[in-house]
């Protein structure tokens, strides 16, 4: 990726009449006499108040007291107030309103564990269990405004705890289930958490992983933490601290199945999701009852096109500490759909496990990551062939930019060129997507159809001017209801992070491009971009060349200082099973980059490693790769699922 944009390609999928006629987007546009998607985008971004009001009504969001004004911008574009004066609780819209209707008997969630155990809950059953958990929280003195952590794998009880916290008006603090002690202390300490839900342990790839002992260590450094509610999930031997620790079954099982839902302000804090920064402590993105859940449901409805009764999975081993976990729960329940959870490795005990799950549960929408598909395609099509995937209407994708080869493998080999890949990119602070595919617009490999309705996105050059067919900064020019209400206890950091470069413009930190056909591409984090001999170079382009090689599964490219060219490339490659590193292969890969990218971009080194550092959302952490290679400070590493990969890179220097 140079300053001029050369990615693009041919359109490979166009919507059928069935896609168009069936789409939630079509229904919404007909309700408001909007003829084209372009007209919808113009109206939704120029009149944010109208669009937000229309979405709230479309989603049947119910309020105890209606809003007097959809949005108040008197404090500036960075600090809007939404649903002014309204009273609500998002749990009313996820569960309560369905009781006494046919939806009460519909499955809300389906679950399977790595060991094959299964479970399901209807809306009515989930409602009762959430009520019991809410009563349990109140019985130990927890109430409105209390921050409560969740450090659990994705089991049904995780959803119960999640919704119970919101039901009592508490503040949900979702934590990645692979966090270590320091990461938990930083986040729960910053939020002054009063309680935490956890488990004795979990299972991954057939091995038991202890979790409560990690929380026990963390708790000694969190003075505000008074209670720990422990689910006995795998039956490991653990210590229980008298007065603080309560077993889930003993505290919750005997509670009443009826509970009042706390009436909160629409803008009351409902959740704080911490996201890692390059430096300093993680940022606590604040979300409210009328914010994150609304944006989640809107994107799920308009992008992945979930309808009542359909089944959506994301990952499908999504984690609550990644925004897609809360996104999945809120979006599916608000839309009256069913979400599927899986606890374990989706390629265990074999590479066909994911496709087995699709067939078994008749999944309608399957979210994946490019990293997962790159892994599964190394096994070829044999694990896919035996399975009936006819229930699938859409693939979803998020977490990182695609390379063309794995995108086309998913589209052609798995989807038979019939199932569109709804690419989705945004962030925790967005509450979902900035750009996304949808059922009405055509697709190219790796591309996004365009911005999400209501998101006034653009691509700016260094002078703050819109550009096309060139690489630039991804920006947003108007507010949207899902935007974070700032960083917990740190409004200045929020403003400096997103609003400081250009006046009244949100700068997201991604490089993006719009091609001549109007399709969008996310090309990686701005801080991943490398300048070589005066040209901006994005890692994705070289990495696409490398993963196209039959010996390479994954690749990551970084820039390291060079006296003349400013930077030069160093590349890390993960080889396919059975392929041994060699100097011949190293030279072959180097020359493939030279042929594709030009001699000035000849890599200084190509290094072979067994894995690349990634977050649970499958983002390859290139800044950490660069820091490890150069012996610099790694910054916040808490979000990594595989910190051992960093140590391997250090040894490869």
Mean pLDDT of all residues belonging to the chain: 92
pLDDT band for 639, please (50, 70, 90 cuts): confident
Does domain 529-651 fall into CATH 3.40.50.300? no
pLDDT at 16: 96
Q: Cα(621)–Cα(631) distance, rounded to whole angstroms? A: 15
pLDDT exceeds cutoff 70 at 495: yes
pLDDT at 256: 98
Q: Average pLDDT in the 376-404 region?
A: 93
Which two structure tokens, joined as six digits, stand for 593?
Answer: 């980059």
pLDDT at 452: 98
DSSP secondary structure, 433-461, as one string? EEEE--TTS-EETT-B-EEPTT--EEEE-
pLDDT band for 8, please (50, 70, 90 cuts): low
Q: Cα(434)–Cα(507) distance, rounded to whole angstroms? A: 12
User: What CATH number has the domain spanning 11-96+268-525?
Assistant: 3.40.50.12780
pLDDT band for 288, please (50, 70, 90 cuts): very high
One fold for both 11-96+268-525 and 121-259?
A: yes
pLDDT band for 5, please (50, 70, 90 cuts): very low
pLDDT exceeds cutoff 50 at 278: no
pLDDT exceeds cutoff 60 at 7: no
The class that CATH gives domain 121-259 is: alpha beta
- Give the other-Cβ count within 10 Å of 412's Cβ: 13
pLDDT digit string (tens) for 402-448? Answer: 889 999 999 999 999 999 999 999 999 999 999 999 999 999 999 99
337, 307 contact by CB (below 8 A): yes
Give the residue extent of every domain in the chain: 11-96+268-525, 121-259, 529-651
pLDDT exceeds cutoff 70 at 526: no
pLDDT digit string (tens) for 336-382? Answer: 999 999 999 899 999 999 999 999 999 999 999 888 898 899 899 99
Which long-range contacts link 211-218 to residues 24+ away (Cβ below 8 Å)? Answer: 211/151, 211/152, 211/153, 211/177, 212/238, 213/238, 213/239, 214/151, 214/179, 214/180, 214/181, 214/184, 215/151, 215/184, 216/241, 217/181, 218/181, 218/184, 218/185, 218/188
């Amino acid at each position: 990726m140079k300053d001029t944009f050369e990615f693009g390609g041919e359109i490979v999928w166009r919507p059928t009449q069935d896609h168009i006629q069936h789409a939630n987007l079509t229904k919404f546009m007909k309700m408001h006499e909007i003829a084209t998607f372009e007209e919808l985008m113009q109206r939704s971004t120029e009149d944010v108040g109208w669009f937000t009001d229309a979405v709230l009504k479309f989603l049947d969001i119910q309020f105890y007291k209606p809003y007097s004004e959809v949005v108040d911008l008197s404090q500036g574009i960075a600090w809007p107030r939404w649903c002014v004066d309204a009273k609500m609780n998002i749990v009313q819209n996820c569960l309560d309103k369905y009781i006494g209707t046919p939806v009460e008997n519909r499955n809300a969630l389906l679950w399977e564990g790595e060991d094959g155990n299964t479970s399901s809950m209807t809306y009515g059953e989930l409602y009762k269990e959430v009520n019991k958990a809410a009563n349990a929280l109140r019985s130990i003195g927890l109430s409105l405004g209390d921050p409560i952590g969740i450090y659990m794998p994705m089991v049904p009880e995780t959803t119960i705890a999640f919704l119970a916290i919101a039901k009592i008006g508490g503040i949900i603090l979702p934590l990645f289930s692979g966090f270590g002690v320091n990461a938990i202390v930083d986040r729960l300490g910053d939020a002054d958490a009063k309680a935490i839900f956890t488990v004795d342990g979990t299972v991954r790839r057939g091995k038991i992983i202890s979790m409560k002992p990690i929380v026990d260590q963390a708790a000694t450094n969190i003075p505000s933490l008074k209670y720990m509610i422990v689910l006995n999930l795998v039956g490991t031997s653990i210590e229980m601290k008298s007065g603080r620790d309560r077993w889930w079954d003993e505290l919750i099982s005997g509670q009443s199945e009826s509970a009042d839902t706390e009436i909160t302000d629409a803008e009351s804090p409902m959740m704080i999701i911490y996201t890692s920064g390059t430096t300093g402590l993680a940022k606590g993105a604040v979300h409210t009852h009328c914010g994150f859940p609304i944006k989640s449901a809107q994107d799920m409805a308009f992008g992945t096109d979930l309808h009542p009764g359909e089944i959506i999975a994301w990952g499908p081993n999504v984690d609550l500490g990644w925004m897609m976990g809360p996104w999945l729960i809120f979006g599916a329940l608000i839309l009256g759909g069913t979400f599927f959870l899986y606890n374990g490795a989706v390629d265990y005990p074999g590479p066909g496990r994911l496709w087995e799950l699709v067939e078994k549960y008749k999944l309608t929408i399957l979210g994946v990551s490019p990293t997962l598909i790159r892994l599964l395609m190394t096994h070829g099509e044999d694990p896919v062939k035996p399975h009936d995937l006819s229930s699938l209407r859409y693939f979803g994708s998020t977490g990182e930019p695609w390379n063309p080869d794995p995108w086309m493998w998913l589209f052609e080999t798995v989807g038979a060129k019939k199932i569109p890949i709804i690419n989705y990119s945004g962030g925790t602070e967005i509450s979902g997507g900035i750009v996304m595919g949808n059922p009405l617009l055509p697709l190219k490999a790796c591309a996004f159809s365009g911005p999400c309705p209501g998101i006034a996105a653009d691509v700016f050059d260094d002078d703050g001017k819109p550009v096309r067919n060139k690489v630039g900064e991804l920006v947003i020019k108007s507010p949207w209801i899902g935007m974070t209400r700032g960083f917990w206890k740190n409004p200045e950091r929020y403003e400096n992070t997103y609003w400081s470069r250009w006046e009244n413009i949100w700068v997201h930190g991604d490089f993006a491009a719009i091609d001549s056909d109007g399709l969008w591409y996310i090309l990686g984090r701005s801080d991943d971009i490398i300048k070589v001999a005066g040209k901006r170079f994005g890692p994705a382009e070289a990495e696409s060349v490398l993963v196209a090689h039959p010996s390479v599964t994954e690749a990551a490219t970084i820039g390291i200082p060079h006296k003349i060219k400013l930077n030069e490339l160093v590349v890390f490659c993960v080889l396919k099973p059975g392929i041994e590193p060699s100097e011949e292969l190293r030279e072959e890969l180097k020359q493939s980059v030279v042929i594709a990218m030009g001699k000035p971009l000849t890599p200084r080194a190509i290094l072979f490693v067994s894995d690349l550092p990634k977050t649970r959302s499958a983002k390859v952490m290139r800044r950490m790769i660069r820091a490890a290679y150069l012996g610099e400070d790694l910054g916040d590493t808490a979000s990594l699922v595989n910190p051992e990969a960093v140590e391997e890179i250090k040894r490869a220097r």
